[in-house]
Amino acid sequence: MVLLGTIVNGICIVIGTMIGKFLNRIPERMKTTAMHGIGLVVMVLGLQMGFKSGNFLIVILSIVIGAVLGEWWGLEDKLNSLGLWLEKRIGTSGNGSIAQGFVTATLIFVIGAMAIIGALDSGIRGDHQVLYTKAIIDGFTALILTTTLGIGVVFSAIPVILYQGVIALFATQIDKFLPAELMDMFIKEMTATGGIMIFAIGLNLTGITKIRVANLLPGILVVAIIVCIIYFYQQSIV
């Protein structure tokens, strides 16, 4: 089943959120320190991913152009509006706004190499191990996030399932028309670009900055375009 890994990932986020909801009586100082700890770990993960680039110029161009597109399209505002819409329908989460929990968790769970690589493995090889691993990590992360940001975290399972599901379904055909070398190049640069975004999420979680990370998301699309241009240009001169 192509979507098995994606479905398990979504279920783990829901389970982690439900458990975290029952642990919401943790003292506020403890929650704050735990959130700062998560932020530091996320920052280190982002740095590790960022250093994997084979051509850092691609990362720079992707982040800058992606930021321009994201601000132009207002992606952060649209995500926040969706979260606020959910909040009006359901009410506040008690220990945090639904909008904040939804947006923060969605960005953490969607951005990154594991989401794309895992979905590609599910579609191309029917191997769900990467997504199973991601599901466990996301479940524990959802638990911790819920204790500080509230029940809004649970709604992040929806974009995670849609995002990874579309990639997995697309991947069932992708190996028929895209060279493996091109895919390897894309994954490497996408990992580095996503790592920069994850680092920014970590900064936000620690309260150091308020970077509009969602407005950087078009950078992933820009990576794909730049990598394709470079790859086919190199092939044309060989």
Q: Name the token pair of 6.
A: 């994606």
pLDDT of amino acid 112: 65
Distance CA 237, CA 35 (A): 51
The beta-strand segments (E) located in 14-86 are: none
pLDDT of amino acid 100: 79
Distance CA 184, CA 37 (A): 32
Q: Whole-model pTM above 0.75?
A: yes
Task: Tell me which H or E stretch contains 145.
Answer: helix 129-149
> For each of the chain's 238 residues, which pLDDT tens digit applies?
889 999 999 999 999 999 988 876 777 787 778 778 878 887 888 888 889 898 999 999 999 999 999 999 998 888 778 777 766 776 554 555 677 788 888 888 887 667 877 888 888 778 898 899 889 888 988 988 888 888 889 999 999 999 999 989 988 887 677 788 898 898 889 888 888 988 888 898 788 888 888 899 899 899 989 999 999 999 888 6
Distance CA 181, CA 175 (A): 11
Distance CA 45, CA 179 (A): 29
Distance CA 87, CA 146 (A): 15
pLDDT of amino acid 15: 96
